[in-house]
Amino acid sequence: QVQLVESGGGLVQAGGSLRLSCAASGSIFSINVMGWYRQAPGKQRELVAVITSGGSTNYADSVQGRFTISRDNAKNTVYLQMNSLKPEDTAVYYCNADRYGMDHWGKGTLVTVSI
């Protein structure tokens, strides 16, 4: 099993920045892709950004150029730097890890962007 714990969410004004962190523990050997997803009220969970163990990244169009995902393999931690935040970025952000094709999820951290 893989345990994921997110931190760094909170309330920020539009245009501001936040950095989310996700610490992985447990059976972390052979975790390939890690990423961030988000779910806004009344909407489906959507991909925000993912990063492979080799450092390749992919972003949703809505966050491209504003958000940066990074990974510290030595610390088993993945980060999401969020800049130029918009009210539509308000959501619960979930960390995800793919290990041998099985998804693991954190409990989520709430990000609220005020006007």
Tell me: the pLDDT tens digits for 56-115? 999 999 999 999 999 998 898 999 999 999 999 999 999 999 988 899 999 999 999 999
Lookup result for tokens 């959501």: 91
The rounded distance, in Å, linking the Cα atoms of 50 and 1 is 20
Strands, E assignment, 27-107:
31-39, 46-51, 57-59, 67-72, 77-82, 91-99, 102-105
* Nearest in space to 2 (alpha carbons), one of 108, 106, 110, 109: 106
Counting beta carbons within 10 angstroms of the beta carbon of residue 5, is it exposed (0 to 12), middle (13 to 18) or buried (19 or more)? Answer: middle
pLDDT at residue 28 in the model: 77
pLDDT at residue 48 in the model: 98
